[in-house]
Amino acid sequence: MKLVFATHNPNKLKEVQQMVTDQIELINLNTIGCTTDIPETANTLEGNAKIKADFVTDQFQLSCFADDTGLLVDALNGEPGVYSARYAGLKNDSNANMDKLLDNLKEKQNRSAHFKTVIALNLNGKTHIFEGKIEGVITENKRGENGFGYDPIFKPNGYEETFAELPLSIKNEISHRAIAFKKLIAFLNSIHVTG
């Protein structure tokens, strides 16, 4: 089975490729010649994941999955949420995004937050949704060099380190993205075993 992962990022593709059975051939947007920057115009993570998956299925008639991820901070009514990548402007500047978030939390006591990843899979005319979530708190300042996005200011519950301080092997076990992808992979692998 050929399946498109709606991403231009070869590292993301490689990461997921290692988790699926040999019967599933994973390809990305570059492989199918899709150079379009698919607009994410929904006001939910699920909506954005679905927009990306539907775009590929409609334009290329291929089975496809897409993901969207956001950081939701309780004291800010779920901000930045669906706007996580462009919280401080359209440039997707991680440092500016973190600075804005830390600034907005200055007067707040409650620093609890969670990361959430939603995956939409279009397969055989049906859409399947998979979700991963991890609870934590926003630190007072940036810590750590690993990871990307908001990792230096997110400390998952049960750990003293931020995502940017944790070894990648641990982050990849416990992260919102890992949880969502494990559900997707289990589903794909089960189809192959039974189908």
Query: What's the CATH code of the domain at 52?
Result: 3.90.950.10
Q: How many domains does the chain have?
A: 1
| Residue 68 annotated among the catalytic residues of the structure | yes
| Residue 28: φ, ψ to 5° | -115, -175
Say if residues 74 and 14 touch (Cβ distance below 8 Å).
no
pLDDT of 23 higher than 90: no
- Per the prediction, the chain carries an average pLDDT of 92
Query: What pTM, to 2 d.p., does this model score?
Result: 0.90
Give tens-digit pLDDT for 33-90.
999 889 889 999 999 999 999 999 999 999 999 999 999 999 999 999 999 989 998 7
CA 88 to CA 45: how far, in whole Å? 18
Q: When comparing pLDDT for 32 and 40, which is higher?
A: 32
pLDDT of 194 higher than 60: no
3-state secondary structure of 5: strand
Catalytic one of 54, 68, 93, 99: 68
Q: When comparing pLDDT for 109 and 195, which is higher?
A: 109
Region 12-28: mean pLDDT is 84
Range of the domain at 25: 2-194
Please give the share of the chain, as a percent, with pLDDT higher than 90: 74
CA 106 to CA 119: how far, in whole Å? 33
Give tens-digit pLDDT for 134-172.
999 999 999 999 878 999 999 999 999 999 999 988 998
Give the pLDDT confidence score for residue 104 in this predicted structure.
97
CA 167 to CA 127: how far, in whole Å? 34
